Amino acid sequence: SQTIHQWPATLVQPVGSPLSLECTVEGTSNPNLYWYRQAAGRGLQLLFYSVGIGQISSEVPQNLSASRPQDRQFILSSKKLLLSDSGFYLCAWSVPLGQTNEKLFFGSGTQLSVL
Amino acid sequence: AQTVTQSQPEMSVQEAETVTLSCTYDTSESDYYLFWYKQPPSRQMILVIRQEAYKQQNATENRFSVNFQKAAKSFSLKISDSQLGDAAMYFCASHGSGSRLTFGEGTQLTVNP
């Protein structure tokens, strides 16, 4: 069966420090991978998605970047964190069944607090 | 571009009763899918139900069903026989060709014993 691992679960970082959040998927190959951010009490905002190794699409300009060094590994990074980067970050994957028939499966999330 | 609107930030229901969560969307696509996701206090996102826009029949998953009104671009979720475990934030989402999944702002559902 397919599983998705996301870590760490919580992270407290000072402003200006670097960030690296990792997500890995098991039990499937060539998944679509996603990073979402959720502000407190709000909906999900898509940050990045990837349809293959080294292929990254950014949905919004920001202080963050993403990389996909391996088929089932997706990394969210920042060189210098801002206060506004605080939030709940969710990794997700899907097996594309068609351009519109895409069910997302989410990781357990990382709560990032930038102080 | 797609937009999804959930006009009810909060809803409450008595245990064993029925509740309906509203969702409207706007899309220029002719082929798209609609989803309801549930986010309990654990914050894990869980797929509740999915509707293909080309299907007239409303999707049903056990106690969860939708009322899909394509012309009105409305996609409401009905929860029957509500249980305490249904308490969560519910998100409506749409997905069209050439775009990614777009989420609404969510409705916080409280189930009262």
Tens of pLDDT, residues B86-96: 999 999 998 87
More confident residue, A19 or A32: A19
Which range, of A2-6, B14-18, B93-97, averages the lowest pLDDT? B93-97
Q: Residue A68: which pLDDT band, with cuts at 50, 70 and 90? A: very high
**Chain-chain contact of B97 with A49 (C-beta, under 8 angstroms):** no
More confident residue, B85 or A1: B85
* pLDDT at B74 exceeding the cut of 80: yes
pLDDT of residue B60: 95
* pLDDT at B6 exceeding the cut of 70: yes
CB A72 within 8 A of CB A28: yes
Q: What mean pLDDT value characterizes chain A?
A: 89
A102 touches B: beta carbon within 8 Å: yes
* pLDDT at A101 exceeding the cut of 60: no
CB B10 within 8 A of CB B112: no
A82 touches B: beta carbon within 8 Å: no
pLDDT tens digits along B27-72 = 888 788 899 999 999 899 999 999 988 888 999 999 999 999 999 9
Question: What residues of B are in contact with residue A46 (Cβ under 8 Å)?
Answer: 100-102
**Chain-chain contact of B95 with A102 (C-beta, under 8 angstroms):** yes
* pLDDT at B80 exceeding the cut of 80: yes
CB B17 within 8 A of CB B113: no
Q: Residue A97: which pLDDT band, with cuts at 50, 70 and 90? A: low
Which range, of A66-75, B67-76, B96-105, averages the lowest pLDDT? B96-105
Tokens coding B55: 């299907």
Nearest to B91 among A44, A100, A103 (CB): A44
Our separate counts of H helices and E strands in chain B read: 0, 12
- What's the distance, CA A42 to chain centroid? 17
CB B103 within 8 A of CB B5: no
Span A104-109, average pLDDT: 90
Supply the DSSP string of A4-60, one letter for each residue. Answer: EEEE-SEEEE-TT--EEEEEEEES-SS-EEEEEEE-TTS-EEEEEEEEETTEEEESS
Q: Residue A56: which pLDDT band, with cuts at 50, 70 and 90? A: very high
d(CA A44, CA B40) in angstroms, rounded, equals 14
